[in-house]
């Protein structure tokens, strides 16, 4: 039946009708707030390309977490910036590494916080790649052992979820095996399964000091022009290897991928609203060209509608505050 019997505008007639018919709603439960911890004391370095984001020493980080929890944040993902970098990323899997020490402190102070840790080598290697290097190539299989070792030290310190972001083949299986073998069968793996070699990571590499010193990440991260089937296969392999949650990253230019993965698998999905996406919104908002709150909430609604269960976003603190306003 068409017009004039059918009038779609009746569905939008008033705020109360629009609210009643709203189906996609962002909530505090959806948000994961990324935080950067750096060695030292009393440090709060602003990240220039990411207004509102800081590299914090553990003492300051704890006060920042306390503030975040107060406004409703329930989950964070933690990235570490070590003092010493070397060819094999030793600080990534040191028992007393920056992340391991900080996990202990966070878990002691805020046991109820969902603590997720990024598992990768790029912040810890002097060459800035996510794996070991041999003859200028990023080698896969010998990297797996180091990633598994890293994940284990995070679990031992008290991480609830480990999130491998390196894109080596077989790392989820390697991590699951080592975790289970050491009695950490309850530690979740949230795998960066569908992760593209994206220009949108630029500001993050400023924040984490993890830009590759030669070449790029094209031999391990996915090509943005690759088929959707390849994305499905990446997710399928990780789920088969034991991933509990899969990540699609970046989010904005990959909404079709979020939707496809959500239609294909029963596994929960996290989308990563990455640093470059954040920087674009912040820059436009700073110039007064967009309404930041409305734009950010519309983006989050889009990620949810596409099928995301969780969203990693640097906007999390602002969103939490906005959600409490109403
Ligand atoms: C580490 C890692 C990166 C991001 C998350 N984990 C950088 C990269 O792959 O180069 C990017 C996050 C962002 O841009 O917000 N491998």
- Of 33, 78, 210, 254, which is best to mutate to test ligand 1, by the most ligand atoms within 8 angstroms of its C-beta? 210
Domain spans in the chain, listed from the N-terminal domain onward: 25-323
Report DSSP state, residue 33: E
Low-confidence ranges of the chain (pLDDT < 70): 326
User: How many residues make up the chain in this entry?
Assistant: 326
Residue with tokens 């109820």: 112
Cβ atoms of residues 32 and 68 within 8 Å: no
Q: Is 107 a catalytic residue?
A: no
- Tell me the CATH class for 25-323: alpha beta
Rounded to whole angstroms, how far apart are CA atoms 111 and 40? 23
What pLDDT score does 169 carry? 98
**Per the residue annotation, which of 195, 229, 259, 287 is the catalytic one?**
195
* Ligand 1 pocket mutation, candidates 76, 81, 204, criterion most atoms within 8 A of CB: 204
287: left (phi over 0), alpha (psi -120 to 50) or beta: alpha
Verify whether residue 249 is a known catalytic residue: yes
How is 107-129 classified by DSSP, letter by letter? HHH-TTSEEEEEE-STTTBTT--
Instruction: Write the DSSP assignment of 293-319 as a string of letters.
Output: HHHHHHHHHHHHHHT-SEEEETTHHHH
Residue nearest to ligand 1 atom 10, measured at CA: 201
| Ligand 1 center from residue 250 Cα (angstroms) | 9
Q: Ligand 1 centroid to 198 CA: how many Å?
A: 9
Nearest alpha carbon, ligand 1 atom 11: 201
Alpha carbon nearest to ligand 1 atom 2, residue: 165
Q: Identify which of 185, 100, 184, 174 has the alpha carbon closest to the alpha carbon of residue 131.
A: 174
CA 27–ligand 1 middle distance (angstroms):
24
Point out the ligand 1 atom lying closest to the alpha carbon of residue 221.
Answer: 9
Ligand 1 contacts (CB < 6 A) are 118, 120, 122, 130, 165, 201, 204-205, 210, 217, 274-275
138 and 131 Cβ atoms separated by less than 8 Å: yes
Taking the CA atoms of residue 29, residue 256, residue 119 and residue 216 in that order, the dihedral angle to the nearest 10 degrees is -150
- Both tokens of 129, joined, read 């790649």
User: What is the torsional sign of CA 81, 85, 89, 95?
Assistant: negative
Contact 166, 217 (CB under 8 A): no
Q: Which one, of 233, 220, 121, lies nearest residue 167 by Cα?
A: 220
Query: CB-based contacts of 245: which residues, under 8 Å, 6+ apart?
Result: 161, 188, 189, 190, 191, 267, 268, 269, 270, 309, 310
Atom of ligand 1 nearest to the CA of 202: 14
CA of 204 to the centre of ligand 1 (A): 6
CA–CA distance, 112 with 74 (Å, rounded to integer) = 8
Cα separation of 106 and 143, whole Å? 28
Cα–Cα distance between 50 and 69 in angstroms, integer?
A: 21
- pLDDT at 325 (0 to 100): 87
The pLDDT of residue 326 is: 64
């Amino acid at each position: 039946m068409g017009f004039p019997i059918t009038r779609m505008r009746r569905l939008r007639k008033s705020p109360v009708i629009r609210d009643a018919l709203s189906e996609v709603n962002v909530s505090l439960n959806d948000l994961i707030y990324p935080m950067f911890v750096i060695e030292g004391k009393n440090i709060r370095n602003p990240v220039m390309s990411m207004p509102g984001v800081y590299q914090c020493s553990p003492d300051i980080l704890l006060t920042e977490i306390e503030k975040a929890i107060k406004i409703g944040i329930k989950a964070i993902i933690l990235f570490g910036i070590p003092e010493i970098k070397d060819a094999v990323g030793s600080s990534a899997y040191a028992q007393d590494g920056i992340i391991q020490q900080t996990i202990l402190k966070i878990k002691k102070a805020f046991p109820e916080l969902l603590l997720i840790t990024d598992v990768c080598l790029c912040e810890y290697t002097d060459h800035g790649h996510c794996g070991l290097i041999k003859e200028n190539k990023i080698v896969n299989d010998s990297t797996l052992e180091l990633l598994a070792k890293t994940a284990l030290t995070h679990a031992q310190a008290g991480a609830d979820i480990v999130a491998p972001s390196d894109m080596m083949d077989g790392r989820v299986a390697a991590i699951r095996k080592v975790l289970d073998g050491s009695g950490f069968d309850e530690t979740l793996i949230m795998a960066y399964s569908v992760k593209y070699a994206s220009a949108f990571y630029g500001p993050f590499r400023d924040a984490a000091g993890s830009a590759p010193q030669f070449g790029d990440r094209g031999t391990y991260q996915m090509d943005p022009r690759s088929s959707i089937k390849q994305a499905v296969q990446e997710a399928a392999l990780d789920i088969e290897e034991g991933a509990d949650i899969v990540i699609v990253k970046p989010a904005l230019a990959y909404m079709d991928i979020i939707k496809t993965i959500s239609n294909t698998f029963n596994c929960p999905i996290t989308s990563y609203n990455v640093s470059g996406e954040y920087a674009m919104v912040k820059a436009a908002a700073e110039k007064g060209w967009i309404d930041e709150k409305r734009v950010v909430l519309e983006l989050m609604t889009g990620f949810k509608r596409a099928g995301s269960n969780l969203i990693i976003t640097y906007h999390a603190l602002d969103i939490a505050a906005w959600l409490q306003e109403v």
